[in-house]
Amino acid sequence: MRGTAAPKHVRPLSDSRKVRKHHPHFQHYTRPHLTRSTTNSLNKSTTQKLGLTQDQFTIMTSDAEALVLSHDPHHPANLICELCRKFYTHGWVTGTGGGTSIRHGEHLYIAPSGVQKELMQPTDMFVMDFATKSYLRRPQSLKPSACTPLFYAAFSLRNAGCCIHTHSISAVLVTLLCEASGSGDVFEIEQIEQIKGVPRGYGEERKGNLGYYDRLRIPIIENTAHEEDLKDTLEGAIKAWPDTYAVLVRRHGIYVWGKDVAQAKTLCER
């Protein structure tokens, strides 16, 4: 029996699969927006450098754009934009400061550097493969966040589902008060209502939240001139304080994480 040919406007799946499977650059090149104008204005040297035809390049970038385009409000790319707008209204991420990252399966969604948080769009997102740390989607007009290695520390060492970094004035003042009082590298507080929403720690033996008469302890690390240089000291604090869900950075802000977006947001708002 003679088979029925596919309509001309339908791209055979094998075309996309061949590009993804056989081209070594697939996971390292995308554009921030896939539109007719940008497609038509592609620099020929770019496609030649990658060894792709125009059609292959379009297939490749279409797959990358699919990582961030969704009508689902709970999609990581949409959630990061919503969180950043909310935190902007609190004064925690004014200008381009601060950031947020969400782990979704084996993908890490990361807010970019240099974008005003209240104006952020899903197409601004970077997407990284958790296992290889390679970018599956990297907007060419934007820079990766300097917070990325610190977010990764929370994901890898605490199995977090979301990590938030803010420049909250309250967090900065707490680190200065601790320094002035001589308490140094830890902020401690008890008998205050808000700590009742903070987990005791990790695992069955630390199940449940702190009580009113318990003491919350959050480690403080010293700031550095470049954010990425905080990686080693933040990792050290996470290991030294096995029950913590946050690390304060003196004269800078705070990193907070949780098992999912809801918990990270709740703890950040405490």
Same domain, 247 and 176: yes
Residue 256 has pLDDT above 70, yes or no: yes
Among 58-67, 175-184, 187-196, 258-267, which is the least confidently predicted range? 58-67
The pLDDT of residue 95 is: 87
Write out the residue range of the structural domain in which residue 24 sits: 13-65
Q: Residue 244, exposed/middle/buried by CB under 10 A (0-12, 13-18, 19+)?
A: buried
Based on the domain organization, do 257 and 142 belong to the same domain? yes
Asked if 215 contacts 196 with a C-beta cutoff of 8 angstroms, the reply is no
Residues 86 and 205 in one domain: yes
Same domain, 152 and 20: no
Q: Which residues are catalytic?
A: 193
pLDDT score for 147: 97
Gap between the Cα atoms of 74 and 65, Å rounded: 17
| pLDDT category of residue 92 using cuts at 50, 70 and 90 | very high
Task: Label residue 55 by pLDDT band (50, 70, 90).
Answer: low
Given a cut of 80, whether residue 11 has pLDDT beyond it is no
Query: Residue 138's closest CA among 256, 26, 267?
Result: 26
Whether 85 shows a pLDDT value over 90: the answer reads: yes
Answer yes or no: do 169 and 201 share one domain. Answer: yes
Do 36 and 113 share a structural domain? no
Q: Looking at the domain assignment, is residue 215 inside a domain? A: yes
Which helix H or strand E contains 132, and what residues bound it? Answer: none
- Mean pLDDT, range 178-198, rounded to an integer: 94
Higher pLDDT, 33 or 53: 53
* Shared domain check, 132 and 222: yes
Say what the pLDDT of residue 140 is: 87
Is residue 166's pLDDT more than 50? yes
Beta strands in 31-134 (DSSP E): 99-104, 107-110, 126-129
Domain match, 91 and 39 both? no
Q: Which tens digit of pLDDT belongs to each residue from 102-149?
A: 999 999 999 999 999 999 999 999 999 999 999 999 998 999 999 999
Pair (27, 131) in one structural domain: no
pLDDT in tens, 22-40: 433 333 333 334 343 444 4
User: In the predicted model, is pLDDT for residue 249 greater than 90?
Assistant: yes
pTM of the model: 0.78
| Averaged pLDDT of the chain | 84
Q: How many domains are there within the chain?
A: 2
Please answer whether residues 219 and 185 qualify as being in contact, where contact means their C-beta atoms are separated by less than 8 angstroms: yes
pLDDT at 235 (0 to 100): 98
Dist. CA 81–CA 120, nearest whole Å? 6
Flag whether 197 is in a domain: yes
Q: Tokens standing for 74?
A: 């709970």
Per-residue pLDDT tens for 147-163?
A: 999 999 999 999 999 99
What are the tokens at 30? 């995308």
Strands 135-137 and 126-129: antiparallel
Strand locations in the chain, DSSP E?
A: 99-104, 107-110, 126-129, 135-137, 162-166, 186-190, 215-221, 246-249, 253-258
